Amino acid sequence: MARPSIVPIALTLDDRTGYTLWAPPWEEDGEEWQAFLGTTEDDTTRVHLFPTPAALATFCRRSTDHDLADHPVWPVVAGLGAADLTPDDDHRFDLDGVYDIAAENPDRWAVEELAATVDMVSRLAECLDTGGEDDEDDDETQFEAVAELAAKPEIGSLGLGVDAFVGRSGEDAWVGVGSVLDDLWEDVVAELDEHFDWTGAGSATLEDYPSASDTDEDDEDDTGADERPTGATAVAPVRTIARGGRIDAPPGEVAKAAAFWEAVGILPVEIVVPEGAGVTLRCYVEDVARFLGRDGEVFVFDTPADLSRFCRGTEDHDLTEIASWPEVAETDVPPLPSDQDRYDLTELTEALAEVADGAAGLVDHQAFAQPVEGVRDLAEYAGLRRVDELLAPTAPLGRAVARGEADPRATLRAEDAATLRTEWDEVVTQVSGALVFRG
């Protein structure tokens, strides 16, 4: 069975697209499991849907009250941003468009898309169905139309691929698929929609959803609009805090590498401090950050290649006991950090200095989000109590961070920036002291 994973998906219904997460089947304690991002209340299971990947990412960071909270890789998912939670084309399921697909010629793409959509509908029904859990009749189901659809041989032929629809008999089979959908699809989507939570667990309203025809354009805008990015906003003239980091790698190469690192649950992280920049590794153990290091010191390497060489060595450190570490030690996949795992602590210093020097209104409070996230993890691992004090809700810096969470686009005032810069400089000094740059 495949390694446990969680995949972002998009579901389109009634001309709106919702984003959620699906955990494909995995084995745990000898049992097979499958789940979606949702909750069960009063014997009814619902899938939480969100109007944008950014809204989904925000929920994942803040909530642990859902059906995926105990999934083996949830700690990794909880740290992802909108770009990473934007589904690829293979994981977008247009329930509105089924009739249009069935009306097309049965080429490979039409057959595969229709088969994938029906398969996802069946998986949703399987996970959402609580009809027979407390009854003697295990055949009872809340999704009768879905069960009837799946049982139709015409629908089963979709699994055979495009070859099942070649020639005169194949044309007839394709017509049969369309006839079954005409009879059952409306009932299928009605059953599912009763279990779709379009409020994102109370974080959204239907008015927040753009028309499905606008979703692709919104996705492009949204991948940079998550609350995690440091200070970037589309509204001029707010200063943008760059997130490119010092490690230069093509986005496609980073994305390809991310598939491995996300699977093992140990992610490359870039850290930039006044003393230098480098890359290390981080994972979460019971929601507590753990870095590549020892005795509260974080090992940082100049390049991904240097880090890879260290991982193949025999030196003891705090990640060796992680179950997936042998895979890390043996892999040839370079440790390339994704954008949401780059923490440049120096750029916030520069931005605060600009505001203190009179550039009020050009930096907003969301500039704190990304660097503070990395700092909190580093302080937790290294036991930096002074950093915790400086980021406490009652401290000036802590209040600024809290305001950034509540109102990220509120701009910083010049009269506050000098104090905040002094406190941030102390934070950076504390964190820098916990970093050990290795050759």
Residue by residue, DSSP assigns 88-119 as -GGGEEESTTHHHHHHS---HHHHHHHHHHHH
177 touches 171 (CB < 8 A): no
pLDDT grade, residue 132 (50/70/90)? low
The pLDDT assigned to 345 comes to 94
Say whether pLDDT at 16 is over 80: yes
In a domain, 1, yes or no: no
SS3 279: strand
Say whether pLDDT at 43 is over 60: yes
Say whether pLDDT at 135 is over 90: no
The pLDDT assigned to 113 comes to 92
If asked whether residues 175 and 239 sit together in one domain, one would say no
If asked whether residues 372 and 286 sit together in one domain, one would say yes
32 touches 115 (CB < 8 A): no
Say whether pLDDT at 242 is over 50: no
In this predicted model, what pLDDT tens digit does every residue of 77-116 receive, in sequence order? 888 888 889 998 889 999 999 999 999 888 888 999 999 9
- Name the more confident of 117 and 214: 117
Say whether pLDDT at 220 is over 60: no
If asked whether residues 193 and 306 sit together in one domain, one would say no
Q: Name which of 84, 75, 21 is nearest 50 in CA terms.
A: 21
The pLDDT assigned to 238 comes to 29
CA gap 229, 342 in Å, rounded: 10
In this predicted model, what pLDDT tens digit does every residue of 393-425 receive, in sequence order? 889 998 888 887 777 777 778 788 888 999 999
Average pLDDT of the segment spanning 259-265: 92
Residue-range definition of the domain harbouring residue 147: 7-197
In a domain, 438, yes or no: yes
Number of domains, the chain: 2
If asked whether residues 121 and 240 sit together in one domain, one would say no
In a domain, 211, yes or no: no
The pLDDT assigned to 361 comes to 57
Q: Which of 144-158, 160-174, 353-367 has the lowest mean pLDDT?
A: 353-367
Instruction: Output the average pLDDT for the chain.
Output: 85
Say whether pLDDT at 378 is over 50: yes
If asked whether residues 236 and 188 sit together in one domain, one would say no
Say whether pLDDT at 211 is over 70: yes
Domain boundary among 147, 173, 197: 197
CA gap 241, 372 in Å, rounded: 13
If asked whether residues 323 and 382 sit together in one domain, one would say yes
If asked whether residues 342 and 437 sit together in one domain, one would say yes
In a domain, 212, yes or no: no
If asked whether residues 141 and 66 sit together in one domain, one would say yes
The pLDDT assigned to 213 comes to 65
In a domain, 345, yes or no: yes
Average pLDDT of the segment spanning 370-396: 94
In a domain, 107, yes or no: yes
In this predicted model, what pLDDT tens digit does every residue of 279-300 receive, in sequence order? 999 999 988 999 999 999 999 9
Domain boundary among 197, 218, 245: 197
* Long-range contact pairs involving 107-113 (C-beta distance under 8 Å, separation at least 24): 107/162, 108/161, 108/162, 111/158, 111/161, 111/162, 111/164, 111/165, 112/161, 112/162
SS3 12: strand
In a domain, 202, yes or no: no
If asked whether residues 16 and 161 sit together in one domain, one would say yes
In a domain, 389, yes or no: yes
- Name the more confident of 395 and 356: 395
The pLDDT assigned to 360 comes to 55
Q: In residues, how long is the chain?
A: 439
If asked whether residues 144 and 39 sit together in one domain, one would say yes
If asked whether residues 188 and 252 sit together in one domain, one would say no
pTM for the predicted model, two decimal places? 0.51
CA gap 289, 171 in Å, rounded: 57
Domain boundary among 197, 216, 239: 197
SS3 295: coil
Average pLDDT of the segment spanning 42-61: 91
If asked whether residues 170 and 243 sit together in one domain, one would say no
In this predicted model, what pLDDT tens digit does every residue of 172-207 receive, in sequence order? 999 999 999 999 999 999 999 999 999 999 988 888
The pLDDT assigned to 283 comes to 95
